[in-house]
Amino acid sequence: MMHDQSQTRRAASGSRCGALLCRLGLLCWLGIAGIAGAEEGKPAQAEPPSLEDLLKQGLTVLPKAVQVSTASRFAQTAETSALTYVLTEQDISKLGLRSLREVLDAMPGLYITSNANFSFVGARGLGRPGDFNSRVLLMIDGVRVNENTTDAALIGPEFYLDVQWIERVEFTPGPGSAVYGNNAFLGVINVIPKRADKLLGWRAGLTVDSTDRREAQLSWAARGIEGQEAMLGLSLVEQARLPLAFDVPPALFDAIQSLNSERVQRLFGGYTHKGLSIRGGHSERTLGSAVWLDRRKPELGLVKRESYYRNSMLALSQEFALGPSTDLSLDISGKRTRVEGRQPYLDEKGRRSVWRTVNDGRWVNASVRLGLSQWAGHRLMVGWDTQQDQVQQIYLGPWGEEPWLTLLAGGRGNGLFVQDDWALGQGHHLSLGLRRDRDDRVDGAQLNPRLAWTWQIDADRRLRLVHGSAYRVANLMEFAQNYFVEAPEWLPSEERVRSQEMVYEHAFSRRTQLRLSVFRSTFRGLISLNEGLTYVNEGPMKSVGIDAGLEHRWIDGSRLQAALTAQRLRDAADQVPDNSPRYLLKLQYQRPLNARWTLGWQTLAMGARHVGAERLGPSLVNHLHLSARWDQGWNLGLGVRNIGQKRYGDIAEPGSGLVHAPGRTLFVQLSSAWGSR
């Protein structure tokens, strides 16, 4: 399955060179800018609500008849689906959210950290440093897009979609392996692109901020007389002299910043007609960061290290109505991800060379889903899906030479699942799910059940009880690292989680709603990197916590939303794991100032946490946004991120140093639409 193609070119001893390669490979993939200190079936009942109805709803409670797609490829109503948080295009616009990272940071229970290159997502207190988001499943309209070398969910600038093309983002917390298998460990994130009816004609947008970051978008969409829809979008991001995320000596400030840069290009398109859907996307990100040519000889000066992200996807889906109560969905998608790091250095003979690290992946996903609803109050869905890794490799070595090390893998597995939903009468719903997975990287089959009971107490109150489990297997980065260093247990066992949750929702009035969730989870065998650069399974961890959300709307259209997550995660020694904040508090306020202008306000607070021996204190930041809309198709946004210029940051891994979060940033957004008639 994997072949070590190490060459005999190594000049140093095997053990010394092996350790060096391990560290260099890990550091190159981590991509820490400043390595040297420089830096997804149809509803049986009502039709879905209109867009206007949807936009009147809140972030933390879904309206009763709204379809959500994260819980399965076939849409379900909120009575039978899992608890799902939704952020709509209206929320994104009014709050001035400019990226998927900022959208997810506004979601209850999620928190985002960074190493100045990669954006990491944590959920309900579990956000292991350096896990590359492999415990969260990321989808675009129900299509899995986690890459296949580290199983990473790419939520940073390298994500396929510009935020202007997003209709809504859904997050379903808790284990999701009963439907989706691997990676749906802490939750499922589903990004729904806008359809052509939201983007008709031509649309152009421009954003400029006080750090000289420039973003531009251009899109075109059309509808045919027979219901065909087509959309194509292009976006560009450029920034020279990136703000410094690390502490540097004042004398080096200008030299370092002059080498820091970023460029992002995205292309995304789609076509739908009747039951056929085609979506495709490509993104490229180039990140430059300053490093020492030779850390031992600073007099040789600084050079630019470059990281390249290349991501492509093509997804086809066909839905069939086989009868009034039978539907079938066929899906196939192909993806390619390539992450390459190039870092100048001096070889052992003092010659200047370029060290190259490449993570290359290409894979195919396919699925078949059959939905049956011949029985009153009963819907059955059965499905099969597979992932086949065609290319899965990591290699590293000097530019122009044969790789010093090549690590290869392939194969993967498939899963069979069933989901059975029953309306039991008198407001009771029961959902039963079971999935069986086979994966090349683990022995035996993985079985993951799900049980959810919903009681609609009355028109205003609802109670849910949910039990589920999930798993995650070691990715290529984890088991290849162990293979290379000849660890006794080179293939870590799979991770497991079991979770129970109780959710109570109460609409006190048409304007005030409460949501209260109590959850408990047990984690076993979490994979982590120890001090010997070996990935091992840790002992059990347990967490308990609450998610509370309150929303109030005023008659003038104003809306206040508050979400509090408080949790207690402990390992077998009753210690708090790294990067596990005790609480998250998120406040959002939207207020129409007049017929044209709207005010949006965010407050994001996070409790204290630690990474290794370093303690990060609590943080509280505020963001302000003013948006205006004109009848002629013009839109204007004026925003300030981190109004109070609060200094806070992250530590990507123990010993890596503090990565400062961006300071106060002012930005202007301008967009226009024409030709929509």
pLDDT tens digits, 503-553? 999 999 999 999 999 999 999 999 998 877 889 999 999 999 999 999 999
For the chain, the average pLDDT equals: 88
pLDDT at position 68: 56
pLDDT single digits (tens) 103-141:
999 999 999 999 999 999 999 999 987 788 999 999 999
Provide, rounded to the nearest whole percent, the portion of the chain with pLDDT above 70: 88
Q: Are 292 and 38 in contact (CB under 8 A)?
A: yes
pLDDT at position 677: 61
pLDDT at position 307: 97
Strand ranges for 512-558 from DSSP E: 512-524, 527-529, 535-537, 541-553
> In the predicted model, what is the mean pLDDT of residues 325-336?
98
pLDDT at position 6: 35
Query: Out of 43-47, 149-153, 222-226, 284-288, which region has the weakest mean confidence (pLDDT)?
Result: 43-47
Q: Are 248 and 37 in contact (CB under 8 A)?
A: yes
Query: Which residue ranges make up each domain of the chain?
Result: 14-674
pLDDT at position 632: 84
pLDDT at position 323: 93
pLDDT band at 407 (very low <50, low <70, confident <90, very high): confident
Residues in the chain: 677
Query: Out of 70-74, 295-299, 318-322, 460-464, which region has the weakest mean confidence (pLDDT)?
Result: 70-74
pLDDT at position 3: 39
Give the dihedral sign, CA 156/162/163/166. negative
pTM for this predicted structure: 0.89
Q: Are 340 and 308 in contact (CB under 8 A)?
A: yes
Helices (H), 336-455: none
pLDDT band at 69 (very low <50, low <70, confident <90, very high): low
Q: Is the pLDDT of residue 143 over 70?
A: yes
Q: What angle do CA 516, 579, 653 make, to 5 degrees?
A: 155
Query: Out of 77-86, 357-366, 547-556, which region has the weakest mean confidence (pLDDT)?
Result: 77-86
pLDDT at position 666: 99
Distance (Å, whole) CA 394 – CA 358: 6
Query: Out of 189-198, 205-214, 492-501, 647-656, which region has the weakest mean confidence (pLDDT)?
Result: 647-656
Provide, rounded to the nearest whole percent, the portion of the chain with pLDDT above 90: 75
pLDDT at position 515: 97
pLDDT band at 81 (very low <50, low <70, confident <90, very high): low
pLDDT at position 32: 30
> In the predicted model, what is the mean pLDDT of residues 199-224?
97
Query: Out of 26-40, 286-300, 342-356, 580-594, which region has the weakest mean confidence (pLDDT)?
Result: 26-40
pLDDT at position 569: 98
Q: Is the pLDDT of residue 411 over 90?
A: no
Q: Which residue has the tokens 């407050």?
A: 603
Distance (Å, whole) CA 175 – CA 183: 9
Other C-beta atoms lying within 10 Å of the C-beta of residue 174? 27
Q: Is the pLDDT of residue 667 over 80?
A: yes
Residue 673 has φ and ψ, to the nearest 5°, of: -130, 140
pLDDT single digits (tens) 596-630:
999 999 999 999 999 988 999 999 999 999 999 99
Q: Is the pLDDT of residue 7 over 50?
A: no
Strand ranges for 326-408 from DSSP E: 326-346, 352-375, 378-398, 405-408
What is the chain's alpha carbon radius of gyration, rounded to the nearest angstrom? 25
Q: Is the pLDDT of residue 646 over 50?
A: yes
Closest CA to 431 of 62, 74, 82: 82
Distance (Å, whole) CA 40 – CA 46: 20
Record: fold of 14-674: Maltoporin; Chain A (2.40.170)
Q: Is the pLDDT of residue 22 over 70?
A: no
User: What is the secondary structure of 38-65 as a DSSP string?
Assistant: ------SSSPPPPHHHHHTS-SSS--TT
pLDDT single digits (tens) 161-188:
999 999 999 999 999 988 999 999 999 9
pLDDT at position 655: 72
b/e per residue, 414-449, with b = 16+ CB within 10 A?
Answer: bbbbebebbbeeebebebbbbbebebebbeeebebe
Query: Out of 69-83, 153-167, 214-228, 388-402, which region has the weakest mean confidence (pLDDT)?
Result: 69-83
Q: Is the pLDDT of residue 10 over 60?
A: no
In Å, how far from its chain's centre is CA 296?
38
pLDDT single digits (tens) 422-447:
999 889 999 999 999 999 888 889 99
User: What is the secondary structure of 77-89 as a DSSP string?
Assistant: -TTTSPP-EEEEH
| 467-to-174, 380, 433 alpha-carbon distances in Å | 9, 19, 10
pLDDT at position 483: 78
